Amino acid sequence: MRDVVFTRRSGWIPNVVRVDGELKLMLGAGADANHEPRTFMFPIEETHRAVIQEDLARHLLLWSAVLPLCDAAGTRGRLDEEAAVALLDPVLLSAPGDVDAIFRRIPWARGRLVAHGADIDLLERGQVWAAMRGATETSDGKRAQKYHADRRRAERGTVLGPLDSAILMYTGQYLHGSTVPKRKSDAVDPALLPEVLRVVATAEEACAGMWISRDPRRGKRATDKRDWTRMEAAVDAAVRRAHPELVDDAVRTVTFLMCSEAADRSRNTPMTPMEDDGRAAGGPAASGDRAGKAVLSFTDDKGLEKKWRRDQGRSADAEFWEFVGDRSAADNEVFTIEDEEMGEGIQLHFYADSAARITTVREGAGGTDPEYRVEYCLVDGVRGYRSLVTAFVRGGCAALERHGPWMADVADFERARRRRGAA
């Protein structure tokens, strides 16, 4: 039978319980293999209970010292009770100087003390006892997260200035650099907000007119990595030139903000450069081009076929890339567009950044197989593929000539591929 002897308002701070007549300290820490919280207990004496109940600072210090032992127990191991009990007297009953000394020799959970109001400067100087003079029973998790984020930066040699910190707060990336950035003006000190917005305006001006188009080779909502890299480089250079005092973390978060917003616009806008290649190339939009193919067949490497007809309304380009976005996968990276009436087609090899144009030289007759001419070319990213598709839709294999060079000799083509791979 277990009875609670002493507990604080915050449920996570260790409780004193009595189990079959024996006093124990009980705390929750870590998780088991099913991600459920683990509970640990170890015996204490009445003298320890009295200090725990009367002295919040020592109670929190003991918690901080025991947590690494709980972490060491893992998802199913046993708590090292002997080591836990050995901490009781030094932490709860020793003089302040001795407490500092024990914390210089053992691992302890810094973030836990920071969350409960410890003075960070004193903690960093090893004055653990003095740091806990302002300890609070309530916990501030964000304060601990900020502390850990600052320590990680310090380990990399990064020290944030006020504007750097404000920019990271503005994008929501102060605590976690992998968080998708957003614009959070209310998170910034009003006195610094105008400076932050000037930096953001510099970034916006640097990428004005640029876009990050979708890359259906990697799924319906994937975006073009090359477009991302291009915009990232432009923003990075402009921000560093205009604001040389900013640290790398601040510059990176602004470039990430610009690129992620551009990618979101592409994903959420019905008409994108992927579907409007003609306009991007300076010609009439493909969706309005009625001089191109009338009927086309799309197939993938799994044998699935889809027919497109001009009278369906949407352009062949848009229908084909939607087909690719729906079907493309690691084991499905070859897609073909065929004009059966003209006896020609183009095959895209996404896995090899290459393509083949196929024309019928002689129709099969009398039981003989038809004869085809196959020519290969290297392709430069998804924009190169979009240009090939648009050209074929409008003018067939003849319109692909300027997108070469096209190589009929497979050995020549393989040598070209290897040269590009080595460059």
Q: Let me know: does 355 contact 347? Beta carbons within 8 Å.
A: yes
pLDDT, one tens digit per residue, over 30-75 is 888 888 889 999 999 999 999 999 999 999 999 999 999 999 999 8
Residues 140 and 233 both lie in one domain:
no
357 and 337 in a common domain: yes
pLDDT in tens, 313-331: 788 998 999 999 999 999 9
Reply yes or no on whether the pLDDT at 277 is more than 70: no
pLDDT value for 280: 40
With 80 as the cut, is the pLDDT of residue 302 above it?
A: yes
Domain that holds residue 331: 277-422
Q: For the residues 252-257, what does the mean pLDDT come to?
A: 97
- Given a cut of 70, whether residue 290 has pLDDT beyond it is no
The domain tally of the chain equals 3
In a domain, 241, yes or no: yes
Assigned domain for 151 exists: no
Q: How high is the pLDDT of residue 319?
A: 92
Same domain, 135 and 255: no
Q: Tell me, yes or no, whether 153 lies in a domain.
A: no
Out of 111, 146, 181, pick the residue that ends a domain.
Answer: 146
Query: Are residues 216 and 264 located together in one domain of the fold?
Result: yes
Residue 53 shares a structural domain with residue 168: no
Co-location of 133 and 93 in the same domain: yes
Of the residues 268, 289, 323, the one at which a domain ends: 268
In single-letter form, the type of residue at position 55 comes to D
Q: What is the pLDDT of residue 271?
A: 46
41, 67: one domain: yes
Q: Same structural domain for residues 21 and 135? A: yes
When the pLDDT of each residue in the chain is averaged and rounded to a whole number, the result is 90
Beta-carbon contacts of residue 219 (< 8 Å; ≥ 6 apart):
325, 328
Q: Give the least confident one: 15-24, 230-239, 247-256, 368-377.
A: 368-377
pLDDT band at 366 (very low <50, low <70, confident <90, very high): low
pLDDT for the residue 66: 97
| Residue 26 maps to a domain | yes
The pLDDT assigned to 417 comes to 86
pLDDT-derived band of residue 281, with 50, 70 and 90 as boundaries? very low
- Average of pLDDT values for 173-201? 94
Residue 338 lies in a domain: yes
Q: Indicate whether 237 and 100 sit together in one domain.
A: no
Residues 281 and 264 in one domain: no
Q: Is residue 152 assigned to a domain?
A: no
- For 104-157, how does the pLDDT look when each residue is reduced to its tens digit (9 = 90+)? 999 999 999 999 999 999 999 999 999 999 999 999 999 999 999 999 999 999
pTM of the model: 0.72
**Same domain? 6 vs 103:** yes
Does residue 371 form part of some domain?
Answer: yes
In degrees, rounded to 5, the angle at the alpha carbon of residue 29 between the alpha carbons of residues 24 and 31 is 130
Same domain, 264 and 320: no
